[in-house]
Structure 1
Amino acid sequence: MRQRKQTCLSIILSLLLIAGLLTGCKGTGQLPKLLPRSETSAQTEAAAYESYRENTLKVQQDFDKRMEELFLSEVDNSLITLHYTLADPSALGITDYDRTLGSYTVEDAKNAVKDAKAVKVQLDAIDKRLLREDQLLTHTILSSYLNTMISSEGMELYDQPLSSSLGIQAQLPILLSEYAFYTRQDIEDYLSLLTSIDTYYASIAAYEKERSDAGLGLCDISLDRIIKSCNAYLIDANHSFMAETFAERLNQVEGLTQEEKDAYIAKNLAAIDGHFVPAYKSLIESLTSLKGTGLNDKGLYHYPEGKKYYEYLVNSYTGTSFQDIPSLKAAINAQMLDDLTSMDKLLAKNPELAKQMYSYSFALTEPHQILENLKSQCQMDFPSIDGYECNIKRVPKALESILSPAFYLTVPIDRPQDNSIYINNGITSTNKNLYSTLAHEGYPGHMYQTLYFNSQNTANIRKLLSFNSYSEGWATYVEYYSYGLDNGLDKNLSQLLKHNAAFTLSLYAMLDISIHYEGWDLKQMAEYLNHYFRISDGSVISTIYYDIVENPANYLEYYVGYLEILNMQKDAKKALGSSYSDMEFNRFLLDLGPAPFSVIRPYFNEWLVRQNRPAANGQ
């Protein structure tokens, strides 16, 4: 769930006034270079070196300290963020924090930009030449993150917190239902969160009213879709997933008596009836009152600063290394054509594959068996990880129509063993796509990448910096990789399915740009899909169109991340030839960790040089 924090980057890094102390001794030019230096000269150089070394260590220690202070300041701005990042915040001295969901206001966004500017000034004052390699990477990533945040200034009302499937109102209940109970305090915190949801949603409703008054309101079609998703949460407290999961989580807390459990269960039911359900009813009423006020039923292009905001979103969501959106779209179209060409070649050789696309089945259909199979086969191309558990859970039936096909919930830094993957049985087919879905969400996808990064990363601040295109791009990349494994499918069929999946995602990404950056309306998109792909079902086209309208740049997160990784892999294979290794390429991406691709690309180019060096030396 993309949720704006109450404040962001509120701590100001201390200004590091670093003077360059490395000076060279000036010679007279009269003595041969091989003659020994004078004792005084050697002592002077030694003193200068020691001073430089001492200052460098001081700068590095200060940087680590400031980054940890920044992490500690930011991690408790939201209790949801805090709990999903640290299972035991008290171990880091965090005991006093806001136990509500906070608010969602324009002022919050303005304060976030203000704080980002202040931190950026102090970050720029650091002499990067004195940082360790890992610190320099953190500095570069954080600087890029801040620059992107600052670029949103003045467009605070363009944010879109609500959408039918990816909005806060659709995803927050899942985060609440998965809120782990490690201690009694966690139970109390959860109940506090739950009782604050009506206040939080009231702030979102006020924000949507402010957007509407500014001429940026949601159109009636989008409002109806969001209201429909809200209706799914008008639940009966006694017979709901919110009550069921609460009782299950209580059993994880040691020392609770049955009397205490019963008391907590009663409080939870009261909070559902008294706050959770009323929050959704109130949100529905507020959104209904806005019907008729949102005049734009098309993309961001048709708002006054829509194109500018979309440029910010693309940069924020994808961190792309492409210079601008037109060049990005050209790259998407080129890869889309490559996948179509590959499909045509496969079908030309074996026309029967077209029929098999609708009747195939992977060899394995049980989730845990699939994950073990993936782990076993991936060891040849991915560094191994151990010491984790994964719980496979089912999306509640009442929510199947409004949630994603599957999703992985990230684990706290200090509880890497706890992992949960939700499968939406209403959308995900056990036979047709569970195998590839678990590659995306589990191993070697989100779960694997998260656990690997947490085990390697030493800068906690990076845990809070979200780079979804790296994460989703990686998961998409390995999802398509899974089609090439021994999965029970004919190899040609596997390749056809992979190219078809990649093509479909590229089409959505291209439509995203066409709608939000170039201004396509529903009719233009329908004509395009009918002309080139013979898609003419009006309800299908309308669903696609408004999914994209409600969630600008969402599909780009997935596809652009995949495209960036794919292009780097192509470049690596071309440059390294027979010395190329999937294992080393994957290790490079994993070791670097989540970052904008504009940052990753220069590091990739350096990696290529290092990989080429042994070959150049004949080693």
Structure 2
Amino acid sequence: MRGAHTYIKTPQQGTLLVKKRIPLIITAAALLLFAGLFFFLYRNNDTLRFQKLSEEIFAQSLSQDSLSLHYTLADPSPYLKAPSPATLPAYSRESQKEAAALLENQLLVLQEINPEKLNSHDRYTWSLLTSYLENELAGARCEYYEEPLAPSSGMQSQLPVLLAEYTFRTKSDMEDYLEILESIPAYLESLAVYEKEKANAGLFMTEADAGEIVDQCDAIMAPDLLSAGEHFLQTTFQERLDGLVEDGQLKPEEEEFYISENNRLLTTVVSPAYTALADSIFLLSGSGSHNGGLCELPSGIAYYLYLLRRNTGSSRTPEEIQSLLSDQFQNLYQNLQALVETYREQTGTGTITLDDLPAFPFQNAQEILDDLQNRMQADFPALAVLTDSLPSCRTKSVAESMEDFTSPAFYLTPPIDDMDDNVIYVNNSSTSPGLELYTTLAHEGYPGHLYQTVYSQLYENSKTDNPVRSALFYGGFVEGWAYYVENIAYGYASDVLLQNGAPNASSLLTDIACLERNLQVNLYCLLDLSIHYYGASRQDVYRSLAAFGISDQATADAIYDYIRTEPTTYLKYYLGYLEILALRDKATELWGDDYTPLRFHTFLLQAGPSDFTSLEKKLAETPTVKTTLSYMETEKKLAHG
């Protein structure tokens, strides 16, 4: 091999050309031998094959999607090459079929790997990937059932929020952002094509749903706000540019140019693209004849089962879920009746309303987040064990133009390689101050989404540089955790009130509020199964809601239509929560006197987002921790595995 390098460096003239051929033949033979040896080692090295496959799955999940890439990685270079120019992933039927074929191939390769030859961390990831890819492949077979433009969670409303929070770490990020704006017409046009194909397949949305989408498209890119320079995509852009100027990455005169360029793109590229999408949906309006649950469609049951598994992470059958929910509902109802009776005895009042709660002492979101972090310390592991710099958190209000079709609150996850900057949005039109805001920020912040996301990712980063798990979606774990700690936060809220001089009955009132919320969400989960799996009609839902005091038809219609257009969404929260409670019961039984809330929460956070079957198996393998360890020793031991 040394000779080969010598000849390559030699001028190619005269007889040297003849001499050169012999080393090349030897080199080729050596390379073939090396390649054969490498292939043999690769085929017989399960760790190497798993690493290679993981890298491919991760890269494929972000290919041609600059927006997702930016939200996943602050610096993509160690993992993959960023698309250039920055772009959004345009839909085509061909690309969907290619993606399904790729899923099948990845699953075959994964199944050829012997998990027993992997280390414990990779073995757990292997089990997650196997069940995840199997379910995704099942979903890929249900063509045109996915709805990317759902009235409550469609990309028409999500895209502007993601753009508004697109971080400008560098000038290059800002230039990528402008390129993404350029790609929006092609992206929205591809969604319009998809909707046309859905219509041809007899699966287009209802006329009412289409009308909502059209109204949203018109409102999101409001021409009056754009012309006045007051649109949130204009104001947030300038705020981010100001940051680049302060960091010295942008000159003031350049800032004016880019502000002008952003305004040009919003008014001449993005706004017309939204208008074109609205026109396409309007023209298709009326072509959708289906106005019921998924079970009424040819592959509807198969798609619903896929959604159940994907969005909840539960392997329970619909029948088992219904039984679990029904039992839980009965328990909640009985507990609520007992609490109401106790409250009436203590207060002598016949009417119970949350308006009777004393005012909360906290004046803003930051005060609430500070209080939550303080109260959770005893039962949740500290982030300080994993990082020297604690993450920051900003709370923002949803823009008024987005309030009507945005969630009450939401948390934007930071990149897996930069967990410091976290943002929580609060929709002031649908989130009341006091108890509701307190429990909402517990759900979105501490000990909810923000805390769980940062802790689990930092722990994962400390164990491996394999980012593949960030490409997997486990809504049941993530939302189930947030709903679980939201329930805990009602107890925190009770303590807040009592410590600030509220009467003892206030504690009962917060407990009643918690039970009422759980009853309501439980009922919506039962309705989800009734509509999409058992075929309940709108009239059936009216009767069910009326039995629980919801007789206003407009309210009943709103509930029915939300569940109809967002199948398994409530189950993602509540069934995920019930699965965590079931795991807690198993942990209590398994660990006996060694069980503590701290240990259980640490187990969940270190396991990270997962399906619940895998979590149950992992729980069974968890060793005992001696109760003689001090609180801090236990925390450190658990945090570092």
* TM-score normalised by the chain length of structure 1: 0.87
1:89-100 maps to which residues of 2 (within 5 A)? 89-92=76-79, 94-97=81-84, 99-100=86-87
CA contact (8 A) 2:64 2:87 kept: no
Residue number in structure 1 paired with 2:530: 514
SS at match of 2:411: strand
1:263-342 maps to which residues of 2 (within 5 A)? 263-322=257-316, 324-342=317-335
Tell me the distance in 1 between the aligned counterparts of 2:52 and 2:542: 55
Tell me the distance in 2 between the aligned counterparts of 1:63 and 1:203: 34
Aligned residue type for 2:542: A
Residue 326 (structure 1) shift: 1.0
Q: Deviations over 1:77-119 (max 9, x none)?
A: 4111110011122354634445111212333332222111111
Q: 1:15 to 1:399 in 2, by over 3 A?
A: farther
Aligned residue type for 1:487: V
Aligned residue type for 2:401: A
Which residue, out of 82, 86, 98, partners 2:69? 82
Higher mean C-alpha displacement, 225-234 vs 268-277:
225-234
Tell me the distance in 1 between the aligned counterparts of 2:53 and 2:257: 43
Higher mean C-alpha displacement, 59-68 vs 196-205:
59-68
CA contact (8 A) 1:343 1:500 kept: yes
Residue number in structure 2 paired with 1:540: 555
Residue 16 (structure 1) shift: 8.0
Q: 1:232 to 1:475 in 2, by over 3 A?
A: same
Residue number in structure 2 paired with 1:355: 352
Residue 418 (structure 1) shift: 0.5
Residue 128 (structure 1) shift: 1.2
Structure 1 residues without counterparts, runs of 5 or longer: 1-13, 20-54
Richer in helix (by share): 2
1:130-529 maps to which residues of 2 (within 5 A)? 130-235=117-222, 236-237=225-226, 238-253=229-244, 254=247, 255-322=249-316, 324-351=317-344, 352=347, 355-360=352-357, 361-386=359-384, 387-457=390-460, 458=464, 459-485=466-492, 486-488=495-497, 490-529=506-545
SS at match of 1:408: strand
Residue 575 (structure 1) shift: 4.8
CA contact (8 A) 1:15 1:126 kept: no
Aligned residue type for 1:240: H
Aligned residue type for 1:469: G
SS at match of 2:395: strand
CA contact (8 A) 1:319 1:596 kept: yes
CA contact (8 A) 2:314 2:579 kept: yes
2:589 is aligned with 1:599: no
CA contact (8 A) 2:459 2:606 kept: yes
CA contact (8 A) 2:210 2:282 kept: yes
Q: 1:612 to 1:184 in 2, by over 3 A?
A: closer
Higher mean C-alpha displacement, 91-100 vs 269-278:
91-100
CA contact (8 A) 1:165 1:229 kept: no
Tell me the distance in 1 between the aligned counterparts of 2:91 and 2:334: 47
Aligned residue type for 1:341: Q
Tell me the distance in 2 between the aligned counterparts of 1:342 and 1:17: 62
1:6-155 maps to which residues of 2 (within 5 A)? 59-92=46-79, 94-97=81-84, 99-155=86-142
CA contact (8 A) 1:15 1:122 kept: no
Q: 1:69 to 1:291 in 2, by over 3 A?
A: closer
Aligned residue type for 2:372: L
Residue 325 (structure 1) shift: 0.8
Aligned residue type for 2:339: L
Tell me the distance in 1 between the aligned counterparts of 2:336 and 2:40: 57
Q: 1:199 to 1:77 in 2, by over 3 A?
A: closer
* TM-score normalised by the chain length of structure 2: 0.84
Tell me the distance in 2 between the aligned counterparts of 1:204 and 1:281: 13
Tell me the distance in 2 between the aligned counterparts of 1:17 and 1:61: 9
Q: Deviations over 1:187-245 (max 9, x none)?
A: 11111111211211111111111111111111112112222222221323222001000
Tell me the distance in 1 between the aligned counterparts of 2:147 and 2:116: 40
Higher mean C-alpha displacement, 590-599 vs 88-97:
88-97
Q: 1:539 to 1:431 in 2, by over 3 A?
A: same
Aligned residue type for 2:240: R
SS at match of 2:602: helix
Tell me the distance in 2 between the aligned counterparts of 1:15 and 1:518: 52
Residue number in structure 2 paired with 1:565: 580
SS at match of 1:407: strand
SS at match of 2:356: coil
Aligned residue type for 2:283: S
Tell me the distance in 2 between the aligned counterparts of 1:332 and 1:394: 34
Aligned residue type for 1:375: Q
Q: 1:277 to 1:16 in 2, by over 3 A?
A: farther
Tell me the distance in 2 between the aligned counterparts of 1:211 and 1:146: 24
Tell me the distance in 2 between the aligned counterparts of 1:347 and 1:397: 38
Residue 168 (structure 1) shift: 0.8
Q: 1:611 to 1:341 in 2, by over 3 A?
A: farther
Tell me the distance in 2 between the aligned counterparts of 1:207 and 1:75: 20
CA contact (8 A) 1:407 1:422 kept: yes
Aligned residue type for 1:470: F
Residue 595 (structure 1) shift: 0.9
Structure 2 residues without counterparts, runs of 5 or longer: 1-37, 385-389, 499-505, 629-641
Once superposed, what is the RMSD of the aligned Cα atoms?
A: 2.1
2:564 is aligned with 1:549: yes
Residue number in structure 2 paired with 1:7: none
Residue number in structure 1 paired with 2:9: none
Tell me the distance in 2 between the aligned counterparts of 1:69 and 1:157: 26
Provide runs of 4+ in structure 1 moved above 6 Å. 14-19, 612-615
Q: 1:16 to 1:149 in 2, by over 3 A?
A: farther
SS at match of 1:519: coil
SS at match of 1:510: helix
Question: How many residues are paired up?
Answer: 561
